[in-house]
Structure formats: C-alpha cells, structure tokens
Amino acid sequence: MQLLSPEQFVGFLAVAVLATLAPAPDTLMVLSLGASRGRRRGMAFGLGCAAGCISHTVLAALGVSALIAASPTAFTALKILGGLYLLRLGWQALRSSGGTGVRGVAGGTESVWSLFRKGLVANAINPKVVMFFLAFLPQFVVASRGNTAWQIVQLGAIFTLQAAVLFGLLGYFAGGIGHWLARHAGAGLWLDRIAGGVLAGLGLKLLVSR
C-alpha cells in the first residue's frame, strides 16, 4: 500500500498543527488542568483528547470509502459540503475575539487515568469533531493515488500523533503558557486568524476548483 506523497504529508501536517493550536475548548482545558492540577493531569487529558481522534479516523475512512463505492458523484457532493463547512469554520475563527483566557480548574482529585478517559470520551462523542474529520481529511485525499481509505487512515494517524505531541507539550508547560497568554491577550486572536484563514482557504479552493 502506498504511503502519502511528501507534498500530501507536509501540506496536511502544517494545516493540522494550526488547527490543533487554535484556541478551542479542548486546548484551553488542557492548559487549565495543567496549570491548576499539575502537568501530569494536563498531559493525561490532552493525550486522551488526541486518542479520541482514532475513532473519527476509522469512521471517516469507512464512510468515505463506502460513499465512493456507492457513487463518485455523492463523494464529490461530500467534498463540496465539506468545503462549505470548512469555510464556515474559517469565517467563525476570523470573527473570533481570541478566547485565550485560561481559568484554573478549582479543586478536583481525579486520577491521571480518569482524566485520560474523560478526554478520550469527550473527543470521541463530540459531533463537531466528527463533522470536522469528515470535512477535513477528504480535502487531502488524492484520488489518482487510489485506496482512499488507506490515505484517510494515514492522514488521521498523522493528525492524532501531532495532536498528542502538541497537547502533551501544552499540558507539560501549561503554567508558563498560561501566564504568557495572560500577558499577551492578542496571541490567541492571531492564532485564530491564521487558522481561520487556512481553513477558509481550503474551503474556497475546493469550491473554486470544482
């Protein structure tokens, strides 16, 4: 089975990193837990969130493959709808006010394993993440390379691994990052702007190149 091309790998990884770093509830929760309950708990919750991406990858690979087998036209329609969804996400991020406030999570005696499970379940059952994967991963599939399901599995694995690394680092350095964000209120705003621009660009590119 073919591996992703270098262009696919580099292009997808760059966008995935931006999407992961953009201020969002899971990112801020990792920072909050790391800052208030210690780096091990922050890292555990973040790694759980990353692991939850595996279920979305499997669903996307099976669902998109079945759709292609049933109707290439339906797959094209999915990509167009996905492009519109990414455009909407990009527009929301561009209009965001940043949302970088990191509040400490008071109290709590949950174990590291309990927080890992909580992060995994919270991510795995989140319908917004399901929609994101269905819209996001197919944009980087190159139909001419064949075996779409295998391409999506590889893309999902890359997303999961980079999310695990980034969330782990966020949890580990949560205290310092939280203080830096508090002093630089515009940082989250610019992360949102960059990620929003990339997501909107992907959506527009798909719609224009249809």
Q: What is the pLDDT of residue 100?
A: 47
Residue showing tokens 């208030």: 36
Mean pLDDT of the chain: 80
Quote the pLDDT of residue 43.
93
Query: Under a CB-based contact definition with an 8 Å cutoff, are residues 133 and 57 in contact?
Result: yes
- Residues of the chain with pLDDT > 90, as a percent, come to 24
Query: pLDDT of 177-208, one tens digit each?
Result: 666 666 666 666 666 677 678 778 877 876 77
CB atoms within 10 A of CB 178: 23
The helix or strand, by DSSP H or E, that contains position 113, with its residue range, turns out to be helix 112-124
- Residue with the bigger pLDDT between 51 and 34: it is 51
Residue 158 pLDDT: 96
Run of H or E residues at 203: helix 186-208
**What pLDDT score was predicted for residue 106?**
44
**Model confidence over 82-128: pLDDT tens digits?**
778 778 877 877 776 655 444 444 445 678 999 999 889 888 877 77
Cα separations (Å) of 36 from 108, 116, 172, 184, 189?
10, 16, 12, 20, 23
Record the pTM: 0.75
Query: Among candidates 46, 60, 19, which has minimal Cα distance to 168?
Result: 46
In this predicted model, which residue has the larger pLDDT, 38 or 109?
Answer: 38
- Quick count: other Cβ atoms within 10 Å of Cβ 203? 23
Separation of alpha carbons 7 and 132, rounded Å: 22
Closest CA to 89 of 127, 28, 132, 126: 132
| Nearest 10 degrees: Cα torsion 47, 125, 60, 63 | 160
At 69 the pLDDT is: 65
More confident residue, 157 or 126: 157
pLDDT grade for 138, boundaries at 50, 70 and 90: confident
